[in-house]
Amino acid sequence: MPRRNGMGAAWWQGKFKGCGYRITLSREAIIDVLTKANKHLSAEDIYMRVHPKYPNIGLTTIYRTLDILVNIGIIFKFDFGDGRARYELVENTKGLNYHLHLICVNCNRIIDYTDYIDDVIELIDQIEKGLSLKYNFKITNHTIQFYGFCKECAGKE
């Protein structure tokens, strides 16, 4: 039985059931698309990719499922400022999928990068600890994004 990764075929199903959710065809299909794409997708992107094979899965179900997945920490939800959210698996086949985004405000192109990740993670950890104490705030998540003009769009300002 071939496996997509080292976490077991149903790596997400445990967490899913544990939180009281049922495992359905729709949900499997949506997670499958996210796994295969391995990059940020909008709800509609996902709908487009699910639809050919499962034409009876509606956009509403996509949104509802994404909501659950965000809440139980299986995917991240991003806002790149173009009016539609993007979703991305927290873990991909290579393990933890941590990276940052560089967003072109002109053409909306997004570059994923991992440069300086170690420094970033170190600082983030430090900040999270410090803020938790000082403000009694339980940090669950964070966002770091850079905006600007990509190679093609530089000068078009």
Partner DNA sequence: TCCTTCATGAAAATGATTTCCATTATTAAT
Partner DNA sequence: ATTAATAATGGAAATCATTTTCATGAAGGA
Task: Give the one residue of 42, 80, 88, 101 binding DNA; rule: CB under 7 A.
Answer: 42
Q: How far is CA 134 from CA 4, 25, 103, 124, 144, in A?
A: 42, 45, 32, 15, 21
Site of interaction with a second copy (CB under 8 A)? 79, 81, 102, 104-105, 111, 113, 115-116, 119-120, 123, 126-128, 130-131, 134-151, 154
* 62: helix, strand or coil: helix
User: Residue 84 touches which of a second copy, DNA, none (CB < 5 to 8 A by kind)?
Assistant: DNA
Please provide the size of the chain in residues. Answer: 157
Nearer to a second copy, 9 or 44 (CB): 44
Please count the other Cβ atoms lying within 10 Å of the Cβ belonging to residue 103: 19
The binding site for DNA (CB under 7 A) comprises: 20-27, 42-44, 54, 56-61, 63-65, 67, 83-85
